[in-house]
Amino acid sequence: MRDKSILSRLQEQSSKIEEIDQQMETPLSARQSVPVSDEGFDGDQVIVSDSSGSFIYVKVSGRWMKSQLEEVI
């Protein structure tokens, strides 16, 4: 009987952690300007759409890295 109580508590904690993670996520929206070097923090993500395509920029070790996005059919 006590095992169910512990399991139940672990499931509640896990659920709370997932909820907090979702609340802290920043929704991504497309913009037209490339992020500047002093903008954002490590882990931040920005989507940039311009005439040459759509790119995702991720800040890693204080630098913005980019990767081109391709549509999956």
Residue 1 has pLDDT above 70, yes or no: no
Give residue-wise pLDDT tens across range 25-56.
Answer: 667 778 999 999 999 999 899 999 988 999 99
Predicted local distance difference test score (pLDDT) of residue 53: 93
Q: What is the pLDDT of residue 30?
A: 86
Please give the pLDDT value at position 28: 79
- Spans of all domains in the chain: 2-68
Judging by DSSP bridges, how do beta strands 53-60 and 45-50 pair with one another?
A: antiparallel
Confidence of residue 57 (pLDDT cuts 50, 70, 90): very high
